[in-house]
A and B are shown apart, each in its own frame.
Chain A
Amino acid sequence: MPDQLTDAVIVGGNRIPFGKAGGAYAAASNQAMLTATLDGLVARFGLAGERLGEVAAGAVLKHARDFNLTREAVLGSALAATTPAYDLQQACGTGLETVLQVANKIRLGQVDSGVAGGVDSASDAPIAVGEGLRKALLGASRARTPMARAKALAAVRPGDLAPETPRNAEPRTGLSMGEHQALTAREWGITREAQDELAAASHHRLAAAWDSGFFDDLATGFLRLTRDEGLRPDTSVDKLAALSPVFGKGEGATMTAGNSTPLSDGAALLLLGSPQWAAEHRLPALARFVDAEVAAVDYVSGDEGLLMAPAYAVPRLLARQGLTLDDIDRFEIHEAFASTVLATMAAWESEEFCTGRLGLDGPLGTVDRTRLNVHGSSLAAGHPFAATGGRIVATLAKTLHDLGPGSRGLISICAAGGQGVVAILEGC
């Protein structure tokens, strides 16, 4: 174990443009998208045949056959087959959590390089058979005689044949993520207008980033897509205002399909290394991984909103680093819903929340909106759950590199299960 920690730097990233569920990637599996993204990363940085320290990735919606998804992607890629890999899953926090894992191992000197990120397909989601059919099939597979097998299968009732599709709902509350967030939006008084403004800005900024070539060295086209499929450069606050609410009930409902992220398909990966490894391979360093924090909230009892954990994680992280919101040059707050971003920022501005819940002396502070999601975020790009962390880290690392050495960026990602993963990067 080294006496001093080494730095971990983000060398670069690669993602495929994100697709709409049932769209351009409808026929592509998680393994296909992850392998294509990995091969794109390997090609971009000339890593064919290299043994890297490790590859960590994950998927939230995962088929049983994909138990070793990331290792299978490595074996199907141009990387050396001697590169270890593992899967990790922390709902929408998956991608950023893999960055923590790989960066921490690099900092400890356990590996000198690694790939982190994730993939998700809402189009190719696993469908489970009903419980009655599943038990009958298991019974039949254990049967030793054809008679016993027939008997086991005879237990199947017509109702057992209905498949169980995965639902975007919390197992303990039965509410969908959008229904949970509708409660939070109402509690914080987040207006429809503010949500639609944030959504329109996300589309306009992401479109400008694509137009300016910002993603030229961060993305590789895949299966006909050269830009994110859900991106609508010509949307506007007026157009978004015409949509009907889909989450929440009655008068006060504010959340529409326009200010909520759509179900998406895609993959995103990052290359990390020690500064020495990057230099030896004549590779750049975009940003340094500084620190991270993960928080969880008790949403089951109704004590806190499902997606509010980052509101707790960020103040803890800033305190540990001796920083305030004013020290941050760029914010990347994942747009699960426009109202999530707005409720999180409202909490940090609230004296009651910050003193009562966080134990601070007063409000944490205000996020300068001109520094927030400057190249657009999930509302425009889409949100293939485990791929979002990789997209955001790559975008922020490049943004900070463009701003110059010492510039600071904060990432905040909320996740199902009442969790939040946040991190600080510093431009190189």
Chain B
Amino acid sequence: MQGESDRPTDAAAASPTAAATAAAVPDETPRDVDVELLDRAPRVAAAFATGVATGWRRPGARGTLPARRLVLPGVHQDVSRLAEFCSVTGGLLGDTVPATWLHVLTFPLQVRLMAAQDFPFPMLGMVHVGNRMTVHRPVRVHEELTLSVRAERLAPHRKGSTVDVVGEVRVADDLVWEGRSTYLVRGDTPPGAPAPVEEGAPATEPEPGRQLALWRLPADLGRSYARVAGDANPIHLSALSAKAFGFPRAIAHGMWTHARVLAAVQPRLPRRYTVSAAFAKPILLPSTVVLLTGAQDLGDLTVTDRKGSRTHVSMQVSPLG
């Protein structure tokens, strides 16, 4: 699997400080001073409702990102829920948890941060376009975790602006996992814009290689994943609720596809790795999709329609030194 160190986005993604400088974040507040300590996982539905109800009062790209970091210590992982997550995403319950499971654990904190009134964008309409995760070491299911989430890097995009929500998982003081979700907000671009950057997109379109798998995705996949992942965004739940947001049918969660791909290649994943994903065209449910691996690099993984003409997700897995 090919390294990515020569890519311009890499330095920014690897270090939050570098990211803040490189992307010219309008907000100059020093990080790490403002911690909101949580005593239990936020309720997604309630946070979601707040976010929707207060969405019209957001300043958009002209606002600033909250400097707060949400921290939830003492998290015990629920084995039955993990088993269901593995089952829905085609994985196998094991002692070591999937990287995407740790994303799911941080998700309620993400929602709380984005729904809060000091977040500059309305939560509805934010599209998850990219994700980058680093597994610093395998995380075991019985380990007690400290989760944290913050927002950073408000950046221009050709269709509007992007904002990164960065999660971290620690075991005691060790940083074991990092995840950076890039959300696109259509509309005005922030001032003082440097060149747009799309997180997670491969440097060049990989040459299509062998087909590794074909998956028939049922119409209720969004509901099944929403149940285990806690992401009940209406665009995933039913054709009717998806239509209200401009999609002809329900669409698969990008992170479901991500988790399904990692589960498919799990036996040959490195012990420590970085995986980046660019979510391109949504998968309309029900659907049949295929997983392709790069002709040169087995770390290049692409999910397309059956003909290989529509790319849904492009991923790259790179071992960590």
Chain A residues with CB under 8 Å of chain B are: 24, 26-29, 31-32, 35-36, 39, 75-78, 81, 221-224
Decide if A32 touches B79 in the complex (CB within 8 Å): no
1/0 contact string of B79-118 vs chain A (CB within 8 Å): 1101110100000111100000000000000000000000
**B residues within 8 A CB of A75?**
267
Confirm or deny: B24 has a beta carbon within 8 angstroms of a beta carbon on chain A: no
Cβ contact within 8 Å between A27 and B267: no
Which residues in A have their C-beta under 8 angstroms from that of B83? 27-28, 32
Across the interface, A76 reaches (CB within 8 A) one of B79, B95, B266, namely B266
Q: Which residues of A contact B141 (CB under 8 A)?
A: 223-224
Collect the chain A residues with CB atoms within 8 Å of residue B79's CB.
24, 27, 223-224
Q: How large is the interface on B (under 10, 10 to 19, 20 to 34, 35 or more residues)?
A: 10 to 19
Closest to B81 in A: A27
A35 to B86, CA, bound (A): 14
The 5 A-B pairs of least Cβ separation, nearest first, read A27-B83, A32-B93, A27-B80, A224-B142, A32-B92
Q: Indicate if the CB atoms of B95 and A223 lie closer than 8 Å.
A: yes
Most buried by A among B79, B82, B86, B92: B92
Measured CA separation A43–B292 after assembly (Å): 29
Contact with A along B175-188 (1 / 0, CB 8 A): 00000000000000
A31 contacts B92, CB within 8 Å?
yes
Q: A76-B266, A77-B267, A224-B142 are in contact. Are A35 and B94 (CB under 8 A)?
A: yes
Choose among A26, A76, A81, A221 the residue that contacts B92 (Cβ–Cβ < 8 A): A76
A221 to B95, CA, bound (A): 8
Chain B residue nearest in CB terms to A35: B92
- Tell me if B93 and A76 are in contact (CB < 8 A): no
Q: Is B266 a contact partner of A27 (Cβ separation < 8 A)?
A: no
- Nearest A residue to B82 via CB reads A27
Q: How far is the CA of A26 from the CA of B79 in the complex (A)?
A: 9
- A76 contacts B267, C-beta separation under 8 Å: yes
- Nearest-neighbour CB distance to chain A for B62, whole angstroms, equals 48
Say yes or no: B142 contacts A223, CB within 8 Å.
yes
Q: A24-B79, A27-B83 are in contact. List 10 more A-B contacts (CB 8 A).
A: A26-B80, A27-B80, A27-B84, A28-B93, A32-B83, A32-B86, A35-B94, A76-B267, A223-B93, A224-B142
- Between A and B, 30 residue pairs with Cβ closer than 8 Å are A24-B79, A26-B80, A27-B79, A27-B80, A27-B82, A27-B83, A27-B84, A27-B93, A28-B83, A28-B93, A29-B92, A29-B93, A31-B92, A32-B83, A32-B93, A35-B92, A36-B94, A36-B95, A39-B94, A76-B92, A76-B267, A77-B267, A81-B267, A221-B95, A222-B95, A223-B79, A223-B93, A223-B141, A224-B79, A224-B141
- The chain B residue sitting closest to A33, CB to CB, is B93
A29 cross-chain contacts in B, Cβ below 8 A = 92-93
Residues of chain B within 8 A of A27, CB atoms compared: 79-80, 82-84, 93
B:48-91 near A, CB below 8 Å = 79-80, 82-84, 86
Of all chain A residues, the one with the shortest Cβ separation from B86 is A32
The residues in B between 183 and 223 inclusive whose CB is less than 8 angstroms from any CB of A are none
Q: Complex Cα distance A23/B246, Å? A: 46
| Measured CA separation A222–B82 after assembly (Å) | 14
Bound CA–CA A223/B80 (angstroms): 11
CA distance A36 to B93 in the complex (A): 9
Query: In the complex the two chains form, is A32's CB within 8 Å of B142's CB?
Result: no
Contacts of A222 in B (CB 8 A): 95
Residues on B with beta carbons closer than 8 Å to the beta carbon of A223 = 79, 93, 95, 141-142
Q: How far is the CA of A224 from the CA of B95 in the complex (A)?
A: 9
Which of A32, A35, A75, A81 has the most CB atoms of chain B within a 10 A radius of its CB? A32
Residues of A within 8 A of B94 (CB): 32, 35-36, 39
Instruction: List which B249-267 residues lie within 8 A (CB) of chain A.
Output: 266-267
**Contact string, B127-163, partner A, CB cutoff 8 A, digits 1/0?**
0000000000000011000000000000000000000
**Chain A proximity of B224: nearest CB distance (Å):** 16
A77 to B83, CA, bound (A): 18
Residues of A within 8 A of B82 (CB): 27
A223–B141 alpha-carbon span in the complex (Å): 6
Residues of B close to A36: CB separation below 8 A: 94-95
Q: How far is the CA of A32 from the CA of B90 in the complex (A)?
A: 12
Give the distance in Å from the alpha carbon of A28 to the alpha carbon of B92 in the complex.
9
Instruction: Give A39 to B92 CA distance when docked, in angstroms.
Output: 13
A41 to chain B, nearest CB (A): 14
Q: What chain B residues lie within 8 Å of A24 (beta carbons)?
A: 79
A397 to chain B, nearest CB (A): 25
Q: Which residues of A contact B266 (CB under 8 A)?
A: 76
The smallest beta-carbon distance between A37 and chain B, in angstroms, is 11
List of B residues within 8 angstroms of A39 by Cβ: 94
- Complex Cα gap A224–B183 (Å): 36
Chain A residues whose CB sits within 8 angstroms of the CB of B84 once the complex forms: 27
Q: Which residue of A lies closest to B80 (CB)?
A: A27
A70 to B84, alpha carbons, bound, how many Å? 22
B216 smallest CB distance to A (angstroms): 16
State in angstroms the CA–CA spacing of A222 and B92 once bound together.
13
- Which A residues are CB-close (under 8 A) to B92? 29, 31-32, 35, 76
* Alpha-carbon gap, A75 to B93, bound state (A): 15
For A72, the closest partner residue in chain B by CB is B92
Residues in B with CB closer than 8 Å to A31 are 92
Produce 1/0 per residue, B14-44, CB < 8 A to A: 0000000000000000000000000000000
What is the minimal beta-carbon distance from A44 to any residue of chain B, in angstroms?
14
- Complex Cα distance, B103 from A109, in Å, reads 49
Which B residues are CB-close (under 8 A) to A26? 80
Nearest chain-A residue to B78 (Cβ)?
A27
Q: Nearest chain-B residue to A26 (Cβ)?
A: B80
**Distance of B145 from chain A, by nearest CB (Å):** 14
CB contacts (< 8 Å) of A224 on chain B: these are: 79, 141-142
A36–B84 CA distance with the chains assembled, in angstroms: 17
A28–B83 Cα gap in the complex (Å)?
Answer: 7
